[in-house]
Amino acid sequence: MTKTSSSPPVISSPNLIQQSFPGLYSFWKFSRPHTIIGTSLSVLGVYLIAMSEFRQFPGFSWNGLALFFSWLACICGNIYIVGLNQLEDIEIDQINKPHLPLAAEEYSRFQAQLIVGITGILALSIAAFQGYYLLGMVGISLFLGTIYSLPPIRLKRFPFWAAFCIFTVRGIIVNLGLYLHFSWLLSGKSLSLIPTIPPSVWALTLFILVFTVAIAIFKDIPDLEGDRQFQINTLTIKLGTVTVFNISRWILTLCYLGMILGSFTLQSSVNSLFLGLSHFILLAVLWWRSLSIDLSQKQSIAQGYQFIWKLFFLEYLIFPLSCLFT
């Protein structure tokens, strides 16, 4: 799998919206839709897993409202992180991702700063209102997102630390933090009950952790020209496109093999047949799709990278279903 723009070109929104509501479309691009979808599904997926553990089901109740505000805090944090990255990468994006609002001069620097500031404040404020587990998760995510992009630290300059920020937030902090938050809510916000993390959540966390390592190193393949010009060292620059592509594919393969084998050890909390079979099918589709990617064609790489994100999205549907089907 591979991608050609630093991230997948915007997951298409209808042309009608683009033409009729250009401001909304610019904000849609600025928010990096693939990350918004990923964040939304992770919130919903972890909530469903927590429900399966507590055997509670959503309704028009406080828990349903809390789910919405938890999602909103995460989305605001997401926009803050990706927006800050764009603010610091305008010149690079003019080469690698000229369709983004700042690079295309659809937004001024002040407008972007305003959006980033407002969403950052909203993320922390809403999370604080919801509870300390969510506040901790959002706060740590925003901190890592800030030092990833913002000078003088700017960890994105270093391949290991750039990947560390991405897989730590997506793989560990989001999954464990959200589960602790939702289990605390579903237990009636009991301060005397310390939530415990079940094996199913650890398994999902490990899968997503390793999966996002592949995303983190793969996302720089299409940005070779801009990254080299602005001295952003990436594995693609160091090792080459083909090597990084193969590393990413094998990391994803190990993810699926691990989940297939691990499904038999999680029988008490998941439907092991459903979980194992679905991941076997996805592994086969992964290899079939990867063989059709032409690494000399940016469009082909971009489509491959979008496909990886679709696999990521599917995990937050398949895994919770396997828990609910027990």
Range with lowest mean pLDDT among 8-17, 103-112, 157-166, 210-219? 8-17
Q: What are phi and psi of 211, to 5 degrees?
A: -60, -45
Question: For residue range 218-275, what is the model confidence (pLDDT) as tens digits?
Answer: 877 766 666 666 666 677 778 888 888 899 999 999 999 999 999 989 888 899 999 9
* Range from 44-58, 98-112, 184-198 carrying the lowest mean pLDDT: 184-198
pLDDT for 127 beyond 70:
yes
Q: Which has more pLDDT, 235 or 313?
A: 313
Q: Taking 80 as the threshold, does the pLDDT of residue 5 lie above it?
A: no
Q: What is the pLDDT of residue 74?
A: 97
Cβ partners under 8 Å of residue 108, min gap 6: none
The two tokens of residue 140 are 């740590």
Residue 3 DSSP symbol: -
- pLDDT value, residue 230: 64
Examine residue 222 and say whether the peptide bond preceding it is cis (omega within 30 degrees of 0).
no
Write down the pLDDT at residue 132: 93
What mean pLDDT value characterizes the chain?
86
Q: How far is CA 74 from CA 17, 39, 315, in A?
A: 25, 7, 18
| C-alpha dist (Å) from residue 81 to 64, 88, 239, 259, 304 | 26, 11, 28, 30, 24
Quick check: 14 pLDDT over 70? no
CA distance 264 to 247: 27
- Determine the Cα angle at 129 with ends 123 and 131, to 5°: 100
The residues spanned by each domain of the chain are: 22-190, 198-325
Where is average pLDDT lowest: 5-9, 18-22, 58-62, 269-273? 5-9
Q: Is residue 6 scored above 60 in pLDDT?
A: no
Asked whether the predicted pLDDT for residue 161 surpasses 80, the reply is: yes
Q: Residue 268 has what DSSP assignment?
A: T
Q: Which residues contact 114 (CB under 8 A, 6 or more apart)?
A: none
Mean pLDDT on 11-21: 57
Which of these, 298, 166, 291, 159, lies nearest to 236 by C-alpha position? 159
Tell me which of 10 and 259 has the higher pLDDT: 259
Phi, psi (deg, nearest 5) at residue 232:
-95, 105
The whole-number pLDDT of residue 39 equals: 96
Average pLDDT over residues 94-106: 89
Among 16-20, 97-101, 290-294, the least confident range: 16-20
What would the mean pLDDT of 100-113 be, rounded to a whole number? Answer: 94
Say how far apart CA 26 and CA 31 lie, in whole Å: 9
- DSSP count for the chain of H helices, then E strands: 15, 0
325 confidence band (pLDDT: 50, 70, 90): confident
